[in-house]
Amino acid sequence: MLFNSIEFIIFYLLVFVIYWSIVDHKKQNLLLLISSYVFYGWWNWKFLSLIIVSSIIDFSVGRMIFKTNSDKKKRGWLLVSLCSNLGLLGFFKYYNFFAESFYDLVSIFGWRPNDMTLNIILPVGISFYTFQTLSYTIDIYKNKIKPTNNVVSFFTYIAFFPQLVAGPIERASSLLPQIEGKRSFSKDFFKEGIVQISVGFFRKIVIADSLGEYVDAVYGNIDIHNGTTIILATIFYAFQIYYDFSGYSDIAIGTAKLLGFQFNRNFNLPYFSRSLTEFWRRWHISLSSWLRDYLYIPLGGNRGGRIFTYRNLMLTMLLGGLWHGSSWNFVIWGGLHGLVLSIEKIIMTRDNYSNIKNKIGFLGHFTTLLIVLFAWIFFRSQSFDSALNAIRTIFSFSYGFPFIGDINVMVNSIFVLFIGIAFDFILYKRQINLEELGRNFNLSKITIFSSVTVILLILFYSSTNNFIYFQF
C-alpha cells in the first residue's frame, strides 16, 4: 500500500479512529500490528512470512543473548541473527547481482557457464526492516538495551507501518519504549503531524513527481540529449530524490505522530551543507547514523591511525552504496562519497582547519553541491555505460537548449522546484524545523495550510508514481 494512494488514506483514517477509541495501549499495539501486516500484505501477502520469520528469530535471539553469561555463546547467538537476516537480504537483493558479476568475470577467461540467475522478486522494505531488527540484537549484545518479553510489542516494532517500507530506521532504544508505554492524544503532536504530512505529500506529489517527468525523459534515453539537458536533468534528479524521500519520511513521521509516536528526524536540509561530511549528517540521517554505529565504528572507526580510518570510511561508504541496490553504479556512487569524505578527513586534521572552515563560505556550499550532483549521475543512470555517456556529453561542451519535446514539462519543473527551494531556504534561515512550524500554528492556520495542500495535491496527483526508495 502506497502513502500516495486513496487506499492508504481510507486505511489510515480507519486505523486512526479505531486506535484512539481503544483505551488499553496493549490492545492498541495489537491493532497496530494487525494493521501493519494488512498494510504490507496489500502489496504482496506472501512476503509477510519474511518479516514474521525475521521477527521470530530476533525476538528469540535477543532473549538468548541476554540470558547467557558466556561471551562465546553470546557471539554465537549474534551470528545467528546476522547470518539469518543478512542471508535473506543477500539472497533476495544480491543473488542475481553476484551471479551476473561472476559470469562476467569468468567469461574473460573463456568459461561461459549456464545462466545462474533466478527470477527473484525483491520484497519491498527488506533493506530497512533488516537493519532495524539487526540493531535490536546488536544493541542487546553490546548491553545497550534489554530485550522485551512482549511478543506483540516486538513484532509491532519491526512491522510498524509508517516506517516499514522506507524508514526512518528506528532503533529499539527509541521506539520500543514508546510502543510498550501508554500513549495519550496530544494537541501539539496532532498539529505537528498534520503539517508534516501536508509538507510530505506536497514534496512528493507536487515537486518530486513533477521533476521526475523531465528526469525520466532524459535519463531514459541519455544518448540523444545534449550537455545542457543532462546537467538540468541531473539537478532535477538531485532534488527529485530529496523531495521524494524526505517527503516519505515527513509522511511517516507525521502519521506516527498522530498515533502518539515520536520518530527521529531523517532529513535536515542537506543541500545547504558546506561539506560532504555535513551533507551526510543531514541526508538520510537514520541510515548514515546506522552505518556509523554498526559498521564504521566496529571496523575500527578513527582508531588505529589515519590509513585505517580512511579504509574504514571507504568500506562503509562502498557497502552503503551497495545497500542501495545490486548494481556497480551504486558501489561507484558510494566510493565517490567515501573518497571525498576521506579527503575532507585529511583537511580536518590540519592545524589551520578552523580558519579554513570559517573562510570557505559559499565556495563550500557550491563545491559540495557539485560533488553530490556528479555522484548522482551514477546513482540515477540505468547502467555504467549510460553514466559514462552522460559524463562524456557534459564535458564535451555540447551545450544547447535543454529541450525534451514538451517545454511545459521543463517550465513546470523549474516553477515547483523554485517553490520547494524557497520554502527550505526559509526554514534554513529561520533555523526552524517542521515540528516547530506545526507547533506554532493555531487551528485556523492548520486548516488553511492543509486545505491549500489538498487542492494542490488534487491538481498534481498521479497514482502511478511510486516512491523512489521502494526499489532499494
**Can you give 295-343 as a three-state secondary structure string?**
HHHHHCCCCCCHHHHHHHHHHHHHHHHHHHCCCHHHHHHHHHHHHHHHH
The answer to whether 369 and 271 are in contact (CB under 8 A) is yes
Phi-psi region of 293 (alpha: psi -120 to 50; beta: other; left: phi over 0): alpha
User: Catalytic: 25?
Assistant: no
- Give the Cα-Cα-Cα angle 325, 326, 327 (nearest 5 degrees): 95
Select which of 25, 284, 324, 337 is catalytic.
324
Which residue matches cell numbers 525483491?
A: 122
Contact 471, 324 (CB under 8 A): no
Packing angle, helices 227-258 and 209-219, rounded to 10 = 140
Number of C-beta neighbours around residue 134 at 10 A: 22
Residue-by-residue DSSP string for 170-237: --HHHHHHHHHS-----HHHHHHHHHHHHHHHIIIIIIIHHHHHHHHHHHTTGGGS-HHHHHHHHHHH
Catalytic residues: 324
